[in-house]
Structures are given as C-alpha cells and as structure tokens.
Structure 1
Amino acid sequence: MTRQLHFVGYCCVSPTWHNNGAWRHAESDAVNVINPSRYENIAKILEEGKFDGLFFVDCLSMFESYGDTFAADLKWGGQMYMLEPMQVLAAMARATKNIGLAATMSTSFYHPYHIARQFATLDHISGGRAGWNVVTSANNLEAQNFGMEKLLDKALRYDQADEILEACGALWNSWDEGALLLDQEKGLFADPEKVRYANYAGKYVKTRGPLQTPRSPQGHPVIMQAGSSDRGREFAARWAEMVFTNQRDKAGMQTFYSDMKGRVEAAGRNPDHCAILPALDFVVGETESIAKERADYINSLVNPELGVADISNSLYLDLSSHPLDQKVDELDLSEGAKGIRGIFDLILGGSKGKTLRDAGQAWGESQMIFQFVGTPTMIADHMQDMFESHACDGFIVTPKLSPSSYISFVRSVVPELQRRGIYRKDYTGRTFRENLRSGS
C-alpha cells in the first residue's frame, strides 16, 4: 500500500484551545464547554474526515503562575480543563464507530491498576479504539492537588513512568485471549487457567493483579507521548506508537523525525510502528485572501495579556511584574527551563526582538505552532511536501475555531488529499492501532 497521511484531532474540554480568543467568535461552540454533545459532535466531524483518532490534552490544576493567581485564565477564558476526559470519551465512543479515542493521564499521580482498568474499560466501550497520551506532568500545583509537596525530579519522573508502563502491561496481559468463555449451556463463565497474577514490583510502584477487566480488543491502548527532552525521546522510543511534537519549520520537523525514527529502531522496534505527528494550526478559505481575512479576524480576538499569562503557566515563571512593552530579549527566562522543555525552546526561538506583548499575541494566536493559511489546494500542497520530505507521518490537527475549522478541513482539504492518493477514503482497520498502522 502507498504510504498515506495520518491525522489525529487535538481537543480540550476547555473554552479555548490554541487560540485564546476563539471562544468569543460567533461560530464558536464554547457556550457548550461542559456539555458532552459538543464533543460528540466534534468526534462525528472528525470521523467523517476519516481521522485516525482524536485526543484530549489535560492538566490537573488551575493555572496560576501569572501573578500567583488563577484570575487571568478564569476571567478571560484561557485554556482550562473543565471535565475529566475519560468520561467524555465514553460519551464520544457511543456516538462514533471508527475513530480512535485517546486521553491524557499522568504517571505521576495515578497508580497503574487505576490506569490499566480505565483504559481497558474504554477499549471495551469503544470496541478497540482507546489511546493513552502518557505524560509525567511538570506542574507542582498538580502535585499539591494530590497531596504531594512537589513532583519528582524530571529524570526520575520518566524512570517512574517506565515502571508504570511495565506494570500496566503486566496487568493488561493478566488475561489471555479466550479467557472469557460465556458458555451458558455448560455454566462456564471464564477459564481461570487463562488468568494470572501480575505480581509487578519496581522501585516506585507495585501491583498484584490480576486486573478485574478482561483482555480488551486491542490488548492495550495505543500509546501516545510528547516529550521533547532527550529523556522524553528515549521514553518515546521505547513505548510510543505516536509522538506528538511542536516544530516551527520544515527543517525542525525533519531533524526531529529522523532522530525519533532512529531511536525507535535502536530500541528494537519497527520505526513504522511509531507515527511522528507535528502539530498543525490552519485556516481554510475559498481564496488565499479570504483565508487571511478569516485568520486576521480570529486573531484580532486574542488577548495578549492572557497570552503572556499562558506563557507564564507553561514556563512556571511569573511574568506579571514585567511591562508588556518590555523586550523578551531583556528578560531572564533561564528559570523557565524548569518548565516543559519543548515549550521553552519554542518561546525563546519565536520571540527574538519582540516585546512581551508581541510574544503574548503570538502565543495567544496559536501557541507558536506551525500554521497554514490558504486555500484547500495550498494547504494540501504544504502537507504533501512535509509528508513526502519525511518531515512527518501526518499531523496533529489543531483548529483555530471549534467546530467550524474542523468542518472546513474535513470538507475541503481532506477530499483534495484523497484525490492525490495520499489519504484514506475509508477506514480499513477494526481498531485504532490497525488504522494507525495502515498505509505506514
């Protein structure tokens, strides 16, 4: 089969996603932010576009690095995470048949038994469409919500995460295929010879098992990961079936792609079984000028100070005492390196010569991810070039505006890619994993 693009939709249970003013747009569905029908509708739109899957980013605290308060995000509608995503995915599973459904869950706070049972259950509910976006967390406020003073050091968090994945694997494999007999005539419900204890014991976690939940259709969820540090890439090379990355340009994508594929192969895995998907922000128009007008209007709704607050939250560094017209080059952001490494690099790389207000505006527009603005043909040209240049295996598709950005992408860009033969016309697999690996 010819190599084909893979798409995964980026979602938040939040008023806004990557554009902090989009919730104010007349076409926005943010008024339904805590209504599951919003997310069921998004899932249906992406399934119409034959997306491999969608996933929810998540955080387990309010953001309050800016001025030591959560006021900015709450007042102006920042990227807050308002409902627990696994329960939202269960609703989306009942409204769809094919699209993969993934949630973020932290290895720093949840025990492997809880994680294993949650995702095995979602895999059963969805008929084999569960995915897990593995994060180690980077925010001590999250730790304090779970009764901890602070997180482990970054390297140790990945060591702990390795054990969590090993323990979850032992639990998922505690049931063999065929263990559930369901023989009413003979009165045999399950075969105890095909169920075993996990008996996992590591430095950080222990679990006895067996899991209560029978083996799920996929055996285990599709594993996603987004670490950009050297240790994060090492972790992804061992475990990830899909890597979510933010790169500013084609050259950066190619470098990351080559590095990750090499690491996966060095870990003894098939590089084709790890899809590299950079984030893509887009605005589609009937003409290039119309697309730019649409993008300009959406971006005019951005609140630059909220953008600065969100930079503070990403770096875990309070910028509230600095005037918005101060040059970013004059700021000491070295403490920001304690935040998420990939975000720190994006901010430093994209803000040279700019004021803090400029940086807040840029961050508020797209969180500095790669952007395409143009006609369906122009966007398809860019995507095809990135794909055929081995800069990616597809994209994490992040809309400026929900749901209309997704609708325009599915109904105009997807058909163009299908005509070119580089994107599926229908699902060929039964599970999330099978669809993700098809056309690799």
Structure 2
Amino acid sequence: MSRQMKFVAFLMAGPTSHHHAMWRHPQTENRFLDPAFWETLARTLEAGRFDGFFFADVLSFYNETIMARGGQMSLLDPIPLVAMMARATSRIGLGVTISTSFQDPYAIARVLSSLDVLSGGRIAWNIVTSAIDREAQIFGKDALLPRSERYDRAEEVLGVCIDLWTGWADGALVLDKESGDFIDEAKMRRTEIAGKYVGGRGMFTVPPSPQRHPVIMQAGSSPRGRDFAASCAELVFTLQHSLPDMQEFYTDMKDRVDKAGRNPDDCAILVSVDPIVGETESIAREKQTYINELLERDPRLGIALVSAHTGLDLAQYPIDKPICDIPAEAGSRGSFDVILQGTNASNLTLGEAAKRFATSELCPQVVGTPESVADELQEFFENGGCDGFIVTPTEMPGSFEAFTRSVVPILQKRGVFRKEYPGSTLRETIKS
C-alpha cells in the first residue's frame, strides 16, 4: 500500500477555530452548546474516514476584546463533549487538550484512561503547557511557572501518567466468578515517583484500553517544545505557512525524533490547513474574500488574538510598527517565532500581521475546486512537507461537510487516503 495521508479535524467548543470571523458567517450554525450538533459532526468526520478530531482548549478568556468580539475561546469543557461524540461513533479518534500546568498527573491519567476504555481505545491527549497568566489566575495562582520550567513540569506529568497507565500487566483483570478472583495482584505494579513538580504513589485503578493508553499529541514550536514532542509525541500539530516552511519543520522534527532514540515513522507531522472549497475556482475565491473581509473591519480582534497567543501586550505598540521589531523576551517564544516566520517575507506591520493571523493563524488557506484543493494537499504531502493535515473550518459545519463529501473521495480515488479504517483503535489508524 502506498503512503497514506492523515486527517485530524481542529475543533473548539466555542464560536471560532482559526478563523475568528467563523461565527459571523451566515452559513455557520453557532450550535456549539448543542450536544446533537457535535454528535452529527463526529459522524460526518467518521464518514469521511478522518483519523480523528481534537478539541483545542483554553481555560479562561484570553482578554476582554476576544471575549466581547467572539474570538477564540472555549465555552465548554471538551471532555464531556468527547464522551458524547464517542457514543455517536465507533472508529474515529477523539482528542482532548489538557494543560500540564494545573492538574496533577493522577487526575489527568484517570479521566483520559476512563475515556479511552469507554471509547474502545480511541482517545488522544493533546499536551499543552499554557501560555497566559490568566489561565493560572483562574486556578487561584498568581502566574504560570517561568517559561523555561513549563516543559520540565510537563515531562514529569507525562512520565507519571505513563507509569500509571503501564501499571496493569496483561491478564491482571481476572473476573473469575467461580474462584472469586477479581484482580491478580501479582500482575499489578505500584507507581512510586517523587519529582520536583509532581509525583504519585500507589496503584492505578483504571484497566488498560485496547490501545493500552491514549495517543500522545503535541504542538511544540520552540526548540524546547520540539524536543519535548520528539521524545514522546505520536502526532505533532504544527502551524506552517508554505511548503518550504513545512519541509524545514518536517526535516527538523524527524531528526529530533531520531536523536531521541525513536523511529521517525512513529511520529506523524500534521500541518494545519484551512480548505475553502467551491464549485469553481472563482466561487471558491469569492468565498475566501467574503469570510476574510469580515475581519478587515475589526483590527482590534487581530491585535488581541496575537497578544493572547504570544503572551505579549501588543496593544502598546503602534499598528504600523514592523512586527519583526517587537521584542519578545516574555510570553510564548515559539508562538511568536511562528508569527515572525509567516510575516517576515512580506515585512508586515503589526496591524497587517494581526489581520492575517486572525484569518488562518498564518496557515495556508487552500482555496479552489475539490480537484485543485486535493492537488495542493497532495503537493504538500508528497514533497516532504507533512504526513497529513489538521483541517480547520471557516464555517461550521459546512467546511467539514464540503471537504468530506468532495475532496476526500478524490484523494481516496488517487490512493493517498484510506477508504476504510484499518482497525478499531486510534493508534491502529494513525500507524496505517
């Protein structure tokens, strides 16, 4: 079988995804508080044979402008949503984002493992470390850990979770009615970890799922974040801006995975794209112009969004200041580097960069007919840019409906995307 693309849908339990005018589009249903909406969407994506979907998450409002103007936010905890969407499907992977900065490992391991068991082995954990102090403050803390320590804590949290998840040997759950033996204690292992930030002592209570434990997903972009992803991630989500950027990131990450002692094929690199599909090229371009112009009239939202993602107060700078001249000692260095990478070639000002960031977070808007969208994705995939794609919508649920019904069949016919799921677990799917 030829190499196959992977597709994971980007979701948020709120009004937007990457495009911050999504909720204002006349075709967007804005039913993000309706469980039936999410269940139907999950079935649509499964019919399109997506590897999975995941909910990005933010634990507080980024700032008042984003709150007031309907920017990126999470209005619901994604864990209950994923549980409901699991019941509506049978094969598609189900990803949730949980920050390592606020919860103890046992709480994370227990809820994810429970979801993994109940879904038949289809859960992924998108690991984040958080980037804004508001998230810490809603938990009653003054601020996040220093940026240099956040991944140190994340490594400890993940290490404890893995140790808990692997504490059950095969056959530990006996369930023998005649003998009365329920668990074979000899096949259980205690966790005994005392780290600088977190630890755990005792036996994990949740039996393993068919895939043993959740798939690990990560989106680190700074050198430290890339090293962390290289050490553990099975799926890497990245924001890149063009094929050369994708190729550079892809080569760097695969090298890091190899140096970490892992098989580079065990870490799939997925780049974010925003497909806009039309019956003709001109219709698709009109759709793109329409949705993007909804943001042209509101530069405040773009500035607020870039500030939120970088942890920098960019409102203090003139909007005509070149973004490359803005210092970035604090905040999320990786996020700011991604923005610089996507804007330096055009020498954009802060205002220009903010508007562009608010449309697609500087990822490619792949615009055209189903055939031309498929062509462009195949070009990225076959020229060393990625192993697959994070598909983000510009209208809901229309973007995903158009993509699964028109683009996916073309890629299937070309032999670069599956027609059926290879097994029942997410790990089986992403390794196929």
User: What TM-score do the two structures reach when normalised by structure 2?
Assistant: 0.95
Q: Give 1:67's aligned residue.
A: none
Contact 1:10 1:56 in 2 (8 A): yes
1:171 aligns with 2:164: yes
Contact 1:9 1:51 in 2 (8 A): yes
Q: CA separation in 2, counterparts of 1:354 and 1:231?
A: 27
Q: Give 1:371's aligned residue.
A: 365
Equivalent residues in 2 for 1:206-225, closer than 5 Å: 206-225=199-218
Secondary structure of 1:4's counterpart equals: coil
Q: CA separation in 2, counterparts of 1:360 and 1:327?
A: 11
Contact 1:328 1:353 in 2 (8 A): no
1:193 Cα shift? 1.7
Q: Give 2:253's aligned residue.
A: 260
Aligned length: 428
Match of 2:315 among 316, 320, 334: 320
Q: Give 1:344's aligned residue.
A: 336
> Do the aligned partners of residues 354 and 56 (structure 1) sit closer, same or farther apart at CA in structure 2, a change above 3 Å counting?
same
Match of 1:381 among 375, 381, 400: 375
> Do the aligned partners of residues 319 and 162 (structure 1) sit closer, same or farther apart at CA in structure 2, a change above 3 Å counting?
closer
> Do the aligned partners of residues 220 and 297 (structure 1) sit closer, same or farther apart at CA in structure 2, a change above 3 Å counting?
same
Could you list the runs of 5+ residues in structure 2 that have no partner in the other structure?
none
> Do the aligned partners of residues 120 and 331 (structure 1) sit closer, same or farther apart at CA in structure 2, a change above 3 Å counting?
closer
1:179 Cα shift? 1.3
**What is the letter of the counterpart of residue 345 of structure 1?**
D
Equivalent residues in 2 for 1:100-115, closer than 5 Å: 100-115=93-108
**What is the letter of the counterpart of residue 21 of structure 2?**
G
Secondary structure of 2:68's counterpart equals: helix
Equivalent residues in 2 for 1:181-220, closer than 5 Å: 181-220=174-213
Kindly provide the CA deviation profile for residues 131-170 of structure 1, in whole angstroms up to 9, marking residues without a partner as x.
0001111111111222222222222211111111111111
Q: Give 2:299's aligned residue.
A: 304
Q: CA separation in 2, counterparts of 1:6 and 1:349?
A: 25
Q: Give 1:408's aligned residue.
A: 402
Identity of aligned residues (%): 50
1:404 Cα shift? 0.3
Q: CA separation in 2, counterparts of 1:232 and 1:322?
A: 28
Q: Give 1:236's aligned residue.
A: 229
> Do the aligned partners of residues 330 and 119 (structure 1) sit closer, same or farther apart at CA in structure 2, a change above 3 Å counting?
closer
Could you list the runs of 5+ residues in structure 1 that have no partner in the other structure?
65-69
Match of 1:76 among 69, 79, 100: 69
Q: Give 1:55's aligned residue.
A: 54
> Do the aligned partners of residues 263 and 354 (structure 1) sit closer, same or farther apart at CA in structure 2, a change above 3 Å counting?
closer
Q: Give 2:149's aligned residue.
A: 156
Q: CA separation in 1, counterparts of 2:97 and 2:215?
A: 12
1:17 aligns with 2:27: no
1:106 Cα shift? 0.9
1:17 Cα shift? 1.1
Superposition RMSD on alpha carbons, in Å? 1.6
1:304 Cα shift? 2.7
> Do the aligned partners of residues 305 and 295 (structure 1) sit closer, same or farther apart at CA in structure 2, a change above 3 Å counting?
same
Secondary structure of 2:303's counterpart equals: helix
Secondary structure of 2:212's counterpart equals: coil
Contact 1:246 1:342 in 2 (8 A): no
